[in-house]
Amino acid sequence: RLINTTINIDPSTLTHYTGPIHAGEKFSGASISFDGRYVVFQGDYGAPAEIFIFDRDTNQTTLLADPTTHVAIQGGNAQISADGQFISMESDSNHILVADRNGTIVNTILSTNGAVFYPAIDASGQFVAFQSTASSFSYTSGTGTFTYNSAVPAGTLELYVYDRATHTIQAVAAL
């Protein structure tokens, strides 16, 4: 890999992209895997933003989309795990999604009485930290739907960690 080299991403070469590239589309919010191979970023032409993955080894940019329907996964504040396998993102003001690099949504966290934002995924992709003003959550994985109710009242800004392996949410700190 070249050090101190700028790589320009040409949106016209996107794979699995079903929509037009708009003049003036802005790209922002980059996150990079530990080995530097994958760069995740957002296309901010409108709301909601679309999530893109750039593979530095193949020089390909791919729209994060459902692998079956090729419908774009829309969201913001996307973060890629250090191993490059999982991406966490805000889907809207009360959803956080975790998808694999192929676009399959593997977990959904839904707040039932407040906003969720700023997800951060750990190196292995097992833990997702996020902020929320909610006190009640419903979350899904391939093994079912689970709920969590915090002792902190709704409206209080709190930091939470979701464990994808044990399907649990833990309140960490009031902010």
**How do residues 53-102 score in pLDDT, each as one tens digit?**
989 999 888 888 888 887 888 888 999 999 999 999 998 878 999 999 99
- CB-CB contact of 150 with 173 (8 Å): no
**What per-residue confidence (pLDDT) applies to 138?**
92
Which of 17-21, 46-50, 61-65, 165-169 is predicted with the least confidence, judged by mean pLDDT?
Answer: 17-21
Mean pLDDT of 133-144: 89
- CB-CB contact of 107 with 162 (8 Å): yes
Q: At which residue do the structure tokens 């939470």 appear? A: 160
Mean pLDDT of 23-29: 68
pTM comes to: 0.83
Confidence of residue 169 (pLDDT cuts 50, 70, 90): very high
pLDDT tens for 4-23 read 444 455 555 555 444 445 55
**What per-residue confidence (pLDDT) applies to 18?**
44
Q: Tell me the residue length of the chain.
A: 175
CA-nearest of 105, 97, 84 to 39 is: 84
